């Protein structure tokens, strides 16, 4: 059993920046970061676009950004939260820069601000098309310089330890020794990212299996608005892999056109903003075009753009396309919507507190009220930074008294049982991913959701029985968590009666 003062699950921008702030404020306290892969593997790392922050007060304003966010959220945003996050953004950006993160600048030395779908002004701070990677690099460098931060990589958080609605730590599986261990803490923070691998076709890395949300749900935390799944309109179409390479929203902001194979610019038929409509509208429009044509993908046309400027702004995208046989100077890029972001999750207040005492959450696993029914492009890194700061300020308050409960934790007894057949887990995961894509995708049908609910319940019973007789692994825990997350998405989709933002449910049976 290991004791620590602050236990952070996850190593994306939310978890790492919180760890840094706590380490600087409390040099005599220990901060432990638990991450199931390498420390730099997170959804943050793959964020291309940037951070939406009001910088140029002459052309932009907080109110414009607030209005854009509210419009995109389709009436379900918490307006007070939206105002708080947007107005605190510049302060958090300043911290990132002080920690060594570098962002693109204009020849005059000012930040080069990009424009993305749903934004009325240029306000996206970026580092070429690798903003998340740059932020992760800078923060990790700072983290490793702190003597009171311990990073436990390749440790899988299995479950929260709770008693009478108090969180007092976690059980975790050391992936190297394959032994379960107990970690107790005064405060536990979930910063575990998204759920993308549940759908298989996703822009998220394979580690995004909804573990934090599933753990919080089992611990009795409030989980809300799981039905609001954001599908990124333009993921590179590639049949050789599940994880899809993202063609950033900023490429359309740069002037790229969406076309059918016949060359028709179909977004002109759906929205006056055309290619710069919000992600829900663009994704649904592509989905409808594909259903009409029977094609597997549409195209993103960049052939009319300045090639030199494109390569400067999007070097990683240009290289990926070229490696895949697409010369953007003369070829159209095949694209398809892919799962990208979860707008709901663990319900938190403005200080990141969940409904479980001493348990906090921030980043994509949390539901703050910022995104509503659909996230505005590049508001995700902004939210993670602001809520990381809010949790820190709450915990750094000298008048804060941390509630405790007396609870003796028994040592975990690791038993020797036969291992679960890995082929069985792989096959069931593939079935689960197909079910979610078909029955809980961009457009959902009431009958499909009902069928999915019944199937998920059967799978949940099935894997629960297996746990009694077999040695469990990370693959097992991830699959179990994904089934839990799938059940939450499906049940909350069935409960929602009105279509909003990224959620579109029809009562008829699907055509599939």
Same domain, 353 and 206: yes
Amino acid 512: pLDDT = 42
**Which has more pLDDT, 65 or 178?**
65
In a domain? residue 488:
yes
pLDDT at 509 over 60: no
Based on the fold, state whether residues 260 and 294 are members of the same structural domain: yes
Same domain, 243 and 365: no
Q: Report the distance separating Cα 354 and Cα 222, nearest Å.
A: 7
What confidence score (pLDDT) does residue 327 get? 97
Q: Are residues 76 and 138 in the same domain?
A: yes
pLDDT of residue 511: 44
Tell me, yes or no, whether 67 and 167 share the same domain. Answer: yes
Q: 382 pLDDT exceeds 50?
A: yes
pLDDT tens string 114-145: 988 889 999 999 998 788 889 989 999 999 99
Are 112 and 217 contained in the same domain?
yes
Q: Who's near 254: CB < 8 A, 6+ residues apart?
A: 114, 305, 309, 310, 313, 314
Of the pLDDT bands very low, low, confident and very high (cuts 50, 70, 90), residue 47 is low
Res 407 pLDDT > 80: no
pTM score, whole prediction? 0.90
Q: Say yes or no: 46 and 118 in one domain.
A: yes
The question of whether 279 is a catalytic residue gets the answer: yes
pLDDT of res. 219: 98
Which one is catalytic: 252, 279, 437, 444?
Answer: 279
**How many C-alpha atoms does 254 have within 13 Å on its Cβ side?**
25
Residue ranges making up the domain that contains 448: 422-506
Please, are residues 289 and 298 in contact by the beta-carbon 8 Å criterion?
yes
State yes or no: pLDDT of 425 exceeds 70.
yes
Q: What's the domain count of the chain?
A: 3
Task: Assess whether 211 and 254 both reside in one domain.
Answer: no
Domain shared by 8 and 104, yes or no: yes
The 3-class SS string of 175-238 reads CCCCEEEEEEEEEEEECCCCCHHHCCCECCCCCCCCHHHHHHHHCCCCEECCCCEEEEEEEECC
What's the confidence (pLDDT) of residue 508?
65
Q: Is residue 404 part of a domain?
A: no
Inter-residue contact 9 to 364 (CB < 8 Å):
no
* Rounded distance between C-alpha atoms, residue 173 and residue 178, angstroms: 6
Question: 433: domain CATH number?
Answer: 1.20.58.100
113-122, 240-249, 279-288, 341-350, range with the lowest pLDDT: 240-249
Could you tell me the CATH number of the domain that includes residue 99? Answer: 3.50.50.60
Mean pLDDT of 177-201: 94
């Amino acid at each position: 059993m290991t004791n620590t003062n602050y236990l952070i699950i996850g190593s994306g921008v939310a978890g790492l920046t919180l760890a840094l702030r706590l380490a600087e404020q409390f040099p005599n306290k220990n901060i432990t970061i638990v991450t199931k892969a390498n420390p730099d593997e997170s959804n943050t790392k793959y964020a291309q676009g940037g951070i939406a922050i009001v910088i140029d007060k002459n052309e932009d304003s907080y109110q414009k950004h607030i209005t854009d966010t509210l419009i995109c959220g389709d009436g379900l945003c918490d307006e007070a939260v939206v105002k708080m996050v947007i107005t605190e953004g510049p302060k958090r950006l300043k911290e990132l820069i002080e920690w060594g993160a570098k962002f693109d600048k204009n020849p005059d030395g000012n930040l080069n601000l990009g424009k993305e779908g749903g934004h009325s002004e240029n306000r996206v701070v970026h580092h070429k098309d690798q903003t998340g990677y740059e932020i992760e690099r800078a923060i990790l460098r700072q983290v490793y310089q702190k003597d009171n931060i311990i990073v436990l990589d390749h440790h899988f958080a299995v479950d929260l330890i709770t008693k009478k609605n108090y969180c007092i730590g976690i059980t975790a599986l050391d992936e190297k020794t394959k032994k379960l261990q107990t970690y107790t803490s005064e405060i536990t923070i979930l910063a575990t990212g998204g759920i993308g691998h549940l759908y298989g076709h996703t822009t998220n890395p394979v580690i995004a299996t909804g573990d934090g949300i599933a753990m919080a749900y089992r611990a009795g935390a409030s989980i809300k608005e799981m039905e609001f799944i954001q599908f990124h309109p333009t993921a590179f179409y590639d049949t050789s892999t599940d994880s899809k390479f993202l063609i950033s929203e900023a490429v359309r902001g740069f002037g790229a056109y969406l076309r059918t194979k016949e060359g028709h610019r179909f977004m002109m038929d759906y929205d006056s903003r055309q290619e710069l409509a919000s992600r829900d509208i663009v994704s649904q429009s592509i989905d409808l075009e594909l259903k009409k044509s029977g094609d597997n993908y549409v195209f993103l046309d960049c052939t009319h753009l300045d090639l030199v400027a494109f390569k400067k702004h999007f070097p990683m995208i240009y290289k990926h396309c070229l490696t895949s046989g697409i010369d953007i100077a003369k070829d159209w890029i095949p694209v398809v919507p892919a799962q990208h972001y979860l707008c709901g999750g663990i319900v938190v207040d403005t200080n990141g507190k969940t409904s479980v005492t001493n348990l906090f959450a921030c980043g994509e696993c949390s539901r703050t009220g910022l995104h509503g029914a659909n996230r505005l492009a590049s508001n995700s890194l902004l939210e993670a930074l602001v809520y990381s700061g809010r949790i820190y300020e709450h915990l750094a308050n000298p008048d804060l008294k941390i509630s405790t409960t007396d609870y003796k934790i028994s040592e975990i007894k690791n038993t020797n049982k036969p291992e679960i057949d890995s082929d069985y887990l792989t096959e069931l995961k593939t079935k689960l991913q197909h079910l979610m894509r078909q029955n809980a995708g961009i457009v959902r049908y009431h009958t499909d959701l009902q069928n999915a609910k019944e199937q998920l319940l059967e799978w949940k019973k099935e894997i629960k029985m297996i746990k009694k007789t077999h040695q469990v692994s990370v693959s097992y825990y991830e699959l179990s968590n994904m089934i839990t997350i799938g059940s939450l998405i499906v049940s909350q989709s069935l409960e929602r009666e009105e279509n909003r933002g990224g959620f579109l449910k029809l009562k008829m049976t699907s055509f599939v």
